[in-house]
Amino acid sequence: MQNFSFSPGKRPGGERPRKTHRILMKVQVGVIVILLSSLNLLHAGTVRGQDLRNKKVTLEFHDATVAAALDQLHKQAGVRIGYALSVTQSPKKINLQRATLTLSAAMDTILYKTGLDYSFQNQMILIFKKQVRGGWNTQQARFSSSIQQDKTTVTGIVTANGGKPLIGVTVALTSDRGNIYGSSNAEGRFKLSVAAGLYDLELSFVGYRPFSKKVHIADTSEVSLGTIMLEEGSTNLNDVVVIGYGVISRKNNTGSVVSIDSKTIEQSPVTDPLAALQGRIPGLQISSSNGFPGSSYTVRIRGTNSLEGSSTSGANQPLFVIDGVPFITEPLNQFTGANGTQSPLASISPSDIERIDVLKDADATAIYGSRGANGVILITTKKGQSGKTKVAVNIYTGASKVTRMPEMLNTEQYLALRRDGFAHDSIDANEQNAPDLTTWDSKAYTNWPERLIGHTAQFTEAQGSVSGGNQQTQFLLAGTYHHESTVLASPYSYDRGSVHMNLNHQSGDGRFKINATVGYTADKNNILAYDISQYYNLAPNMPIYDSSGNFYWFGNIQNPIAYLDRGYQSKTDNLISNALIQYNLLPGLDLKTSVGYTKTTMDQIITMPERTFNPSSGVPNQAKYGFSEVHSYIIEPQATYTHKIADGTLQLLAGGTWQQQISEGHSLSGTGYPGDSQLDNMQAASELSVLNYNYAQYRYTSAFGRINYNWREKYIINGSFRRDGSSRFGPNNRFGNFGAVGAAWLFYEEPFVTEALPFLSFGKLRGSYGITGNDRIGDYSYLDSWQTVSFPYGGVTGITPARLYNPDYSWETNKKIEIALELGFLRNRIMLNASYYRNRSGNQLIGYTLSPQTGFDNIIANLPAEVENKGWEFELNTINFQQKHFNWSTSFNISLNKNTLLKYPGLEGSSVQYDYVIGQPLDVVLGYKFTGIDPKTGLPQFLDANKDGSLSQLDDYVVLGNKSPSLYGGLQNTISYDKWSLNFLFQFVKQDGPGLNYGYLSTPFGTLTNFGEEALNRWRQPGDHTEIPVSTTTSATQAYSLFNTYYRLSSAVWEDASYVRLKNVSLSYNLSAVVEKWKLKECSIYFQAQNMLTFTGYKGFDPETQGSYLPPLKTYTIGIRLSL
Amino acid sequence: MLFWGSCSKFVDIDPPKNEVAGGLAFADDQTAEAAVVGMYANMNSFNYQFANVLGNILVGMSADEIYYAASFASFDEFRYNKLSVSNSYVGMLWSQPYALIYQANACLEGLEKSTALSRSVKTTLKGEALFVRSFCYFYLVNYFGDVPLILTTDYLVNNKLGRTDIQTIYDTIESNLDQAAMLLTDTYTGDAGRIRPNKSAAEALAARVALYRKEWTKAAAMATSVVDDPQYTLEANLNNVFLTTSKEAIWQLESVSPGRNTFEGNTMVPVSTPYYRLYPELIASFETGDKRLKDWIGVDSSGTTPVYYPLKYKVRVSTEVTENSTVLRLAEQYLIRAEANAELGKMSAAIEDLNVIRRRAGIEELSSSLDKAAVLKQVAMERRQELFTEWGHRWLDLIRTEKAAAVLQPLKPDWQNTDTLYPIPLDAISTNEALTQNPGYK
């Protein structure tokens, strides 16, 4: 029986005990065993095992190999040592100054970092390979305990940094003899009972860095391990990162993956989890489209790859996967509201998220095949934890205001500008062309930005959870309620409630496991139908109401206060459920199936009472109703196999996917209601017509595999492959192959590195290359079909050809290459990661321009256009202070991306010839080069780029800039002192963008709209040197036409939109010691702020959203967190 | 292999519920009819279509008929005959007929292949598709001259086709219309009025085509066939001509957009100040007592000088539909026959047809002693007064009778003789190397 340790590379414990004997007998035949014996054997034989461990021996090694060292030990101590021949091939060189050690300490020294372990058995030392821990630990523990006779009680205390005891920490003592688990009690004490020997002590607790240490448990009745302090934080090389269909330690990962955990997400008082990621992850650029609740975010991982679609379309969106199930991020809106489209991710409560992993390079994303081109964001929701039942409550409340407001002219300054314009134009102001100067009150003043969006919003969230369980079964039940109002004058609000449940179970022998999660969220977004921020520039003395109290109207100027009476409501219900079922069939071989089902519905309504329309337009009251639904299921059977080959570990993954998604929706428009109060009632409409009906089915199937070989934790190679089929492509091109190879070299343990760079505590060089795809185009585009027309004709609903069809187009392909260096210094207190990547997207799927004589503008086709994204990412994490009462760590990240359109055959003459420029980024913006104001006339002047004597759009455009940041990043500090802890994050972005006066909606200085304070610097008289043109009011003037034709599309109004933002501040005070007497385990109060300060030279609203959209909000909250 | 077999099957999906798969569009009588009716719906479901406001109003702006009072660059280019190749409305006048031609071709190919349709439905639908295609080509050649002749749905071929000689296209139109006249019935399909072309519509368009080609005998014969059809009579009351119940209408496009009647009425009937105004020269041309001036033209006298605007369509907004956009009507057939007979030397027949129109307008009959030149001059005048703001008749008449320069040069300072053809739109010419630009444009 004792011989079972002789089977190197095998996992005896994985077998059922009854069979063990027979299998081991066979194994012995195949293994060469050398027994070092000597004349001293007989003497040694008389020594008891316990004494043998403590036997003293004097040793000295100089560059000794393991074999040589063991040989010396054998000779010195006169003990038999048994091992397989292959273990002596360890390249480790042992150096030891002459010392006297116990035998066990000597063994620890020799075998340190060799991947070998030993045990004392019957007066001899047996050496074998360390086990890779698998899923049958419990069984092994049971099995091995049955053969161990003498037990030692191991005790200890686990505390957090400040000395606070940690409750429910998982404590494990693992060794080849079996694994013993326990957890800490209310005082942080733990007690385990094990046989004497060498163990790995491992402590793990959510939100703390895992702790591991080799301990030698002596053969006495009790061993105390003292107090073990766990460090908060998440950057640890032994942390796992979640990758496609699995997890891997950060240390051994060959791909580019960045993670953030719930601890960080909890620091941000945000509605959408994406907002908590801003500034924290290199290579991930996130910007909000506006500050309304539920607004969508533009998310780019390493730039824009696809030509197809604008920033809001899905073609450049990364793939989102929640608990293994792809999440549908295309908005369901039938029509837009003030927030644009509702972000589906706003239906995920940030408090339910355990961690988010961002996969960037080919190695990490190729396992997602045709959908990995834009990177992958994996969201893992919270799971139950074993231990005493824990009830936790977190409540916070606060207030929000917009980050920034443009500074506009006051009434006096504005009217002066207007009079100036009429004077320059030499025409008279009258009631028609200048009501502001003639009929409106010249003393009246409305600060329109303040009036429209200057109010204070409320922000409240309450979370509660119960979790617990034993080693076999764990559960979590969590609920969240979220409420926020808006910065508008009217009482609009956003409410969200969510329930999250997780159940985790494993069978007694640990071979069968199931993990099931159900999340349900309902939200109700009561906002406006339109973003009224765009009316910030109304004349400051324009009346809001007329003398009889009705809305005031003039010409075609919209009264924005009337818009506040137009209701918009969207209700989203979201169900996400998934289960992972796993069975350990054979040693090293696990079979799994993940199944998921998600369903999202969205109901919308817009009500437009008659009073909100200018009466002269004669438009009656009306309403619109939208209904959408999308549901999908996914089944992914997988098998994983782990096996030792030579000195390395081989891990194999194979699996398949079946996925179906069906989306369906319709919208109706109603008119002719008996009264405004009936607009919500569809039945009250005298005429109801169907605006839209949409239906799409999407099916997706694949086979995927991964092979990973890790040789001595030093050389790691990882290959992944996926074959995908998608219904978005024609029958001729449904299937495509994708794959990647990644490799890592952990060089810090190489002798020559250790010698040359002794300060280096970690070093990894990794690289990858691979091909991923993009199928983010609409459904059915390959199909030859007819669709119904809008209105029936003669009682017959007509149909019309839906499109020109192309049955042959296929995937966009994205070739990614990456090389990265990861370094650790001063025992990993300083960690530096640098990566360089280059992604090239070709075979671009676009609407290929056709001559309209074909009946259509374009056809979906693959174009050999190529887009390149390349850049650098740096990440630096430092632990500046690490003391009992004071800890300070800093994280810094910076990303530089360069986007280039490398080629686009047929660009010239195509319909997009002014949208793209070869050699420039995809989102390049062209315009006229403003060369200054003529001091004599006050007229703006522009560069005649082609020197033909006249300005024309075609030939005189220059590059103004582009819409993507060239550089972005964040700087985070985490400081804890005694019971205080403080986190703050600065986010920075370098970019340019449109100023307030950019674009076709902008009108010349002096017209009937207000302007920013820059208008005060306008040209007034000959000889003025300024950058702002002369005031003008009438379209007949040259000043007017120069502004409209050139100025508003020129570099004069294109600005630097870079900014530095104090994105997040979180300050908390731990009251746990105070509340102890009330039987509360944990209590802390905290202050959190989001978007607290913004530093920028940008003159418009906010540099993140740009243009005249509601800026992001700055939010301040206070809260309390309790658990019992 | 089994695995892959099942995977391939898994990604075979059903066609979308809101679409009809190509093969099924002609699988039964109902969907085949829907495919053909889709053409008319496409013509008139939205504003600014070649078959409503663009063809009726914008083309009229090129002549001495109607103008837009405010300054709007794209409209001004029509008004001053200074069209740029990138004018978006010119683009639509090109791309919309071609989109309809594609649909007509798809219908013809689908009908040809289908074996499941009843004989009568197949015959009628084929006639309608041939008619619509001919109708579109008629306007394409008159706006742009030689244009690509596209008779299939194969975009790979069609994308590269160059211009075809105008006479070849006219030959195709003529033979297609003759065929359509044989396939179509005298009665109108459905019970929703005269909203789908019948045999008379094909003959009426054939009469116009023959007139444009100076095939006088054929023009007169075709027009006679329509005029003699008892289901058509001139509405005695001018206010009834454009109603859905009009007995004069040969083909109308049904008003389908909710809350409106015709897009023409919706556009031209003023809210307060009229923006779409008739040329004073047209107003001045009416004889005293002409009911067309009184019933079809509105006047706004709020300013210093009265402003005239078209009022053939009288409804701007209404949920009750009383008017349809009229494409072909009987009065034109009288005028076609009058012109053809005059050219054939049959003066008295010509004068009688003109008098039919004049009697209805409430003005004096013409003397029976007019000579050919005088009759033709009077035909031109009656066409101008009868057909204004309908389908660009005035513009096309000035060109086909080669009077454009003489009439328009005094009114339009930048007039050039090459302005009689519109430019090939930029997005058409830049995407097809085989297309050449019309003279006078770059």
Structure tokens at B59: 């083309």
A32-41, A149-158, A837-846, B68-77: the lowest-pLDDT one: A32-41
Q: Which of B7, B31, B161 sits opposite A701 (nearest CB)?
A: B7
B194: which DSSP letter?
S
Residues 6+ apart with CB under 8 A from B9: none
Q: Does B231 fall in a domain?
A: no
Q: Which residue of A has its CA nearest to B162?
A: A853
Q: Which residue of B has its CA nearest to A954?
A: B86
**Position B166: which residue type?**
I
Q: A960-970 burial string, b = 16+ CB within 10 Å, else e?
A: bbbbbbbebbb
User: What is the extent of the structural domain holding B68?
Assistant: 1-184+405-442
pLDDT at A142: 35
pLDDT at A162: 65
Contacts of B12 in chain A (CB under 8 A): 699, 727, 731
Judge whether A662 and A631 are in contact, CB under 8 Å: yes
Q: Is A1091 left (phi over 0), alpha (psi -120 to 50) or beta?
A: left
Q: Which residue of A has its CA nearest to B92?
A: A852
Structure tokens at B393: 């008749």
Q: State how far Cα A494 lies from the chain centre.
A: 23
A689 close contact with B: CB closer than 8 A:
yes
**Residues 341-400, chain B, touching A (beta carbon < 8 A):** none
Taking an 8 Å cut-off on Cβ atoms, the answer to whether B430 and A850 are in contact is no
A95-99, A741-745, B243-247, B405-409: the lowest-pLDDT one: A95-99
Contacts of B430 in chain A (CB under 8 A): 909-910
- Cα–Cα dist A314/A297, whole Å: 11
Q: What is the CATH number of the domain that holds B431?
A: 1.25.40.390
- Cα–Cα dist A378/A365, whole Å: 11
> A13 pLDDT band (50/70/90 cuts)?
very low
Taking an 8 Å cut-off on Cβ atoms, the answer to whether A725 and B31 are in contact is no
CA distance B310 to chain A (A): 21
A73-87, A993-1007, B361-375: the lowest-pLDDT one: A73-87
B433 close contact with A: CB closer than 8 A:
no
CA distance A896 to chain B (A): 37
Structure tokens at A485: 């109002």
Q: Does B6 fall in a domain?
A: yes
Residue A791 has pLDDT above 80, yes or no: yes
- Cα–Cα dist A924/A913, whole Å: 12
Structure tokens at A494: 């956003």
Q: What is the pTM of this model?
A: 0.79
Taking an 8 Å cut-off on Cβ atoms, the answer to whether B158 and A805 are in contact is no
Rg value, chain A, Cα: 34
Calculate the alpha carbon distances from B188 to A894, B132, B182, B192 in Å. 72, 15, 14, 9
> A86 pLDDT band (50/70/90 cuts)?
low
Contacts of A911 in chain B (CB under 8 A): 427, 431
Taking an 8 Å cut-off on Cβ atoms, the answer to whether A799 and B7 are in contact is no
Between β-strands A844-849 and A319-322, what pairing exists: parallel, antiparallel or unpaired?
A: unpaired
Taking an 8 Å cut-off on Cβ atoms, the answer to whether B190 and A805 are in contact is no
Residue A18 has pLDDT above 50, yes or no: no
Helices (H) and strands (E) in chain B, counts: 20, 7
Any alpha helices (H) in A1-84, and if so which ranges?
17-30, 41-44, 49-54, 66-77
Taking an 8 Å cut-off on Cβ atoms, the answer to whether B34 and A796 are in contact is yes
Q: Does B163 fall in a domain?
A: yes
For Cα atoms A976, A980, A982, give the angle at the middle one, nearest 5 degrees: 60
pLDDT at A884: 72
**Position B6: which residue type?**
S
Judge whether A1023 and A920 are in contact, CB under 8 Å: no
A432 close contact with B: CB closer than 8 A:
no
Q: Does B340 fall in a domain?
A: no
> A168 pLDDT band (50/70/90 cuts)?
low
CA distance B29 to chain A (A): 12
B31 close contact with A: CB closer than 8 A:
yes
Taking an 8 Å cut-off on Cβ atoms, the answer to whether B8 and A849 are in contact is no
Between β-strands A80-84 and A124-129, what pairing exists: parallel, antiparallel or unpaired?
A: parallel
Residue A593 has pLDDT above 60, yes or no: yes
**Residues 166-225, chain B, touching A (beta carbon < 8 A):** 190-193, 195-196
- A959, A963, A967, A973 alpha-carbon torsion, rounded to 10°: 150
Residue A362 has pLDDT above 50, yes or no: yes
Q: A203-227 burial string, b = 16+ CB within 10 Å, else e?
A: bbbeebbbbeeebebbbeeebebee
Q: Tell me phi and psi for residue A42, to 5 degrees.
A: -65, -35
B37 close contact with A: CB closer than 8 A:
yes
Residues 6+ apart with CB under 8 A from B396: B59, B142, B212
A145-154, A893-902, A1023-1032: the lowest-pLDDT one: A145-154
Size of interface A-B (CB pairs under 8 A): 210
Does an H or E element contain A364, and which? helix A362-365
Q: Which of B11, B17, B98 sits opposite A725 (nearest CB)?
A: B11
Residue A315 has pLDDT above 80, yes or no: yes
**Residues 840-879, chain A, touching B (beta carbon < 8 A):** 849-857, 859
> A349 pLDDT band (50/70/90 cuts)?
very high
Q: Does B113 fall in a domain?
A: yes
A1120 close contact with B: CB closer than 8 A:
no
Give bridge partners of residue A193 from the DSSP assignment: A153
Contacts of A795 in chain B (CB under 8 A): 190-192
Contacts of B17 in chain A (CB under 8 A): 664, 695
User: A804: burial class by Cβ within 10 Å (0-12, 13-18, 19+)?
Assistant: buried
Q: Does B122 fall in a domain?
A: yes
- Cα–Cα dist A1100/A614, whole Å: 29
Q: Which residue of B has its CA nearest to A1036?
A: B71
Q: Which of B16, B41, B192 sits opposite A798 (nearest CB)?
A: B41
Residue A128 has pLDDT above 90, yes or no: no
Q: Does B301 fall in a domain?
A: no
Q: Which of B3, B15, B39 sits opposite A783 (nearest CB)?
A: B15
B148 close contact with A: CB closer than 8 A:
yes
Any alpha helices (H) in B146-198, and if so which ranges?
155-158, 166-183
- Cα–Cα dist B343/A1024, whole Å: 72
In order, the DSSP letters of B369-400 are T--HHHHHHHHHHHHHHHSTTSTTHHHHHHHH
Q: How many angstroms separate the most distant Cα atoms in chain A?
A: 122
- Cα–Cα dist B20/A1116, whole Å: 54
pLDDT tens-digit map of A946-983: 888 888 766 788 999 998 899 999 999 999 998 999 99
B162 close contact with A: CB closer than 8 A:
no
For Cα atoms A95, A100, A105, give the angle at the middle one, nearest 5 degrees: 70
Q: Which of A793, A797, A1035 sits opposite B254 (nearest CB)?
A: A793
Identify which of A383, A572, A599 has the alpha carbon closest to the alpha carbon of residue A473.
Answer: A383
pLDDT at A87: 57
Q: Is A676 left (phi over 0), alpha (psi -120 to 50) or beta?
A: alpha
CA distance B256 to chain A (A): 6
CA distance A651 to chain B (A): 23
- Cα–Cα dist A868/A922, whole Å: 10
Identify which of A523, A629, A628 has the alpha carbon closest to the alpha carbon of residue A271.
Answer: A523
> A400 pLDDT band (50/70/90 cuts)?
very high
Residues 6+ apart with CB under 8 A from A434: A418, A422, A1008, A1033
Q: Does B56 fall in a domain?
A: yes
Pick out chain B residues at pLDDT < 70: 1-7
- Within 10 A of A935 (CB to CB), how many other CB atoms are there? 13
Q: Which residue of B has its CA nearest to A733?
A: B8
Judge whether A593 and A638 are in contact, CB under 8 Å: yes
Give bridge partners of residue A1069 from the DSSP assignment: A980, A1085
Taking an 8 Å cut-off on Cβ atoms, the answer to whether A796 and B98 are in contact is no
- Cα–Cα dist A749/A819, whole Å: 20
- The position carrying tokens 């824990």 is A390
Mean pLDDT, rounded, of chain A: 85
Taking an 8 Å cut-off on Cβ atoms, the answer to whether A791 and B190 are in contact is no
A563: which DSSP letter?
H
User: B422: burial class by Cβ within 10 Å (0-12, 13-18, 19+)?
Assistant: buried
Q: Is A680 left (phi over 0), alpha (psi -120 to 50) or beta?
A: alpha
Percentage, residues of chain A above pLDDT 90: 54
Give bridge partners of residue A994 from the DSSP assignment: A1054
Q: Which of A727, A798, A849 sits opposite B34 (nearest CB)?
A: A798
CA distance A569 to chain B (A): 25
Calculate the alpha carbon distances from A1104 to A303, A404, A560 in Å. 16, 11, 24
Domain count, chain B: 1
CA distance A851 to chain B (A): 5
Once rounded to an integer, what is the mean pLDDT over residues A501-516?
92
Residue A334 has pLDDT above 60, yes or no: yes
Once rounded to an integer, what is the mean pLDDT over residues A511-538?
94
Give bridge partners of residue B88 from the DSSP assignment: none
pLDDT at B260: 85
CA distance B253 to chain A (A): 9
CA distance A278 to chain B (A): 37
Once rounded to an integer, what is the mean pLDDT over residues A614-620?
76
**Position A991: which residue type?**
Q
- Cα–Cα dist B206/B147, whole Å: 20
User: A383: burial class by Cβ within 10 Å (0-12, 13-18, 19+)?
Assistant: middle
User: A6: burial class by Cβ within 10 Å (0-12, 13-18, 19+)?
Assistant: buried
Residue A45 has pLDDT above 70, yes or no: no
A368-382, A615-629, A887-901, A1109-1123: the lowest-pLDDT one: A615-629
Residue A216 has pLDDT above 90, yes or no: no
pLDDT at A508: 86
Q: Which of B10, B195, B428 sits opposite A701 (nearest CB)?
A: B10
Calculate the alpha carbon distances from A911 to A848, A1046, B187 in Å. 9, 21, 45
